[in-house]
Amino acid sequence: MLGLYGAPAYDIERLSALAGRADQNSWLARWNDVMPDWLRTYIGLEGLASHVVTYSPLVLHALVQTKEYSTGVISPSARVRLDQQERMVGLRMERQRRLFNEERPLHFTAIIEESVLDRPIGGDQAEATMRGQLEHLVDMAERPNVEILIMPTAVGRHDGLEGRFTILHFLDSDGQKQAGAIGYVEIPDDAVYIQDQNQVEKYNASVKLLRSVALSEPDSVTAIASRLSALA
């Protein structure tokens, strides 16, 4: 199909190689009836990625959400039906298992706006929800494959202000060399996949700039811990 639509040979070969390694995604079948196609594609790619880098300006990324925080984020929601919300939360929790995989752990970098730490999620239970979520972030930051970086509001203008984005990095079939990357930008009820490597490199350049002004990992943990102290 890619050939029929005139896709470049490089993209055909790369996506075909990724598809050939999708043997570990059969667990997704349990959620087929609640996932739109664009989300199913992303989660499949996430399962194959070696390193995922995200910039989150509004809410935390699904891979570091607690169950209570995730429930608060999607309930109520114009995008998720009421009868499917519990299952969508379950899907997010299942995706997080890769962070704890001993043989092939996913490396995850989360660049998070400082304001996200102060946004109460959880309705009437917001205080307890945020306390649990912040504690979870501190715990996750201790893992060698997880990097939490907080973007101070005082920085002002920076390269992430155009909106959230994700970059998925892949290794070759031998798991030894980088095999390109895919950019992912979610829009209402759909998503854009960026495969042109020149365009992806611009996102990588943005990540470098964001890193240069974000708090260090220790200082990021301190910023999270200060919110926990305030809640206590």
Q: Which residues contact 46 (CB under 8 A, 6 or more apart)?
A: 52, 95, 98, 106, 168
pLDDT in tens, the chain (232 residues): 555 556 665 555 556 555 555 444 567 888 888 888 888 889 999 999 999 999 999 999 999 999 999 999 987 766 667 677 888 899 999 999 999 998 889 999 999 999 999 999 998 999 999 999 999 999 999 999 999 999 999 887 877 667 889 999 998 877 677 788 999 999 888 899 999 999 999 999 999 999 999 999 999 999 999 999 998 7
pLDDT of amino acid 49: 94
pLDDT of amino acid 214: 96
What's this model's pTM, rounded to 2 decimal places?
0.85
Closest to 69 measured CA to CA, from 141, 117, 138, 106: 117
pLDDT of amino acid 26: 64
Residues 164, 116: Cα–Cα separation, whole Å: 13
The topology under which CATH files domain 9-231 is Endonuclease; Chain A (3.30.870)
pLDDT of amino acid 189: 82
pLDDT of amino acid 23: 44
Check if the beta carbon of residue 186 is closer than 8 Å to that of residue 43. no
pLDDT of amino acid 7: 60
pLDDT of amino acid 196: 92
CA distances from 82 to 87, 117, 211, 212 (A): 10, 26, 38, 41
Q: Which residues contact 219 (CB under 8 A, 6 or more apart)?
A: 150
pLDDT of amino acid 24: 47
Give the domain ranges of the chain: 9-231
Beta-ladder partners of 147: 109
Residues 134, 232: Cα–Cα separation, whole Å: 12
